[in-house]
Amino acid sequence: MRQVILDTETTGLNPATGDRVIEIGCVELVNRRLTERTFHHYINPERDIDAGAYAVHGLSRAFLSDKPVFAQIAEDLIEFVAGAELIIHNAPFDLGFLDSEFALLKRTPFRAHASNVIDTLVNARQMFPGKRNSLDALCERFSISNTHRTLHGALLDAQLLAEVYVAMTRGQEDLTIDLIDYSANLDASGQTKPLPSNLMVLAASADDCTLHEQILAEIAKASKKDPVWDRAVNTAQ
């Protein structure tokens, strides 16, 4: 599955009153792994930037004055996200701005180019009701370092959100093991059915074992609990 994690920075809070997108950052996940493909542009909004927005991202009109306008990067953005599932924190905000930019170009709404949209803020509020669910709060909750994030930046925030999304959807906060109905393998007399004689047994390679241990270590770190497999080992010893 191909997913694109997207973030924007803007001149203000409301595209309906003329605020514009001034930065877009995207990273790509394929089968839940970050690739090296990214999309990142600063954009000249051709207007002033609200003081409150500037305090968040530090992008000035002077800095953006020689950057491309949105129309110049729109096709490249479409090409990058086409057919992918979008992952956005507080999706209505970013999608509202991007749809507005496409409307100014008399183009199909931006969201129509994606196969689906996942809002990680909605998911986080369901997972952690009553708690802070900002990107910073989620980074802290999942032990993801964001010490280099002094101001908001679209590409950096997309990279952090990718890590948060993988952690959230791995079920690291509380691991549970589904119960198996072993009775399905019993015959009419209650005896275990013999396994087929033609089963092929594939031994895990050294690389497979190393990767497995790395994944277990990541889960244990993010869960902030003693993992169930460590408890089993300690009990056996």
The CATH number of the structural domain formed by 2-169 is 3.30.420.10
Whole-prediction pTM: 0.71
Q: How far apart are CA 135 and CA 157, in angstroms?
A: 8
3-state percent helix, strand, coil for the chain, nearest multiple of 5: 45, 15, 40
- C-beta separation of 180 from 50 below 8 A: no
- Pick the range with the lowest mean pLDDT from 81-85, 180-184, 211-215, 232-236: 180-184
Residues of the chain with CATH 3.30.420.10: 2-169
Q: Is 7 exposed, middle or buried (0-12, 13-18, 19+ CB in 10 A)?
A: buried
Which of these, 70, 64, 71, lies nearest to 49 by C-alpha position? Answer: 64
Q: How far apart are CA 223 and CA 213, in angstroms?
A: 15
Interval 169-183: pLDDT, tens? 985 444 433 333 444
Interval 84-143: pLDDT, tens? 999 999 999 999 999 999 999 999 999 999 999 999 999 999 999 999 999 999 999 999
Q: Is 152 a catalytic residue?
A: yes
- C-beta separation of 219 from 175 below 8 A: yes
Catalytic pick among 41, 89, 113, 152: 152
Interval 219-231: pLDDT, tens? 777 666 666 666 5
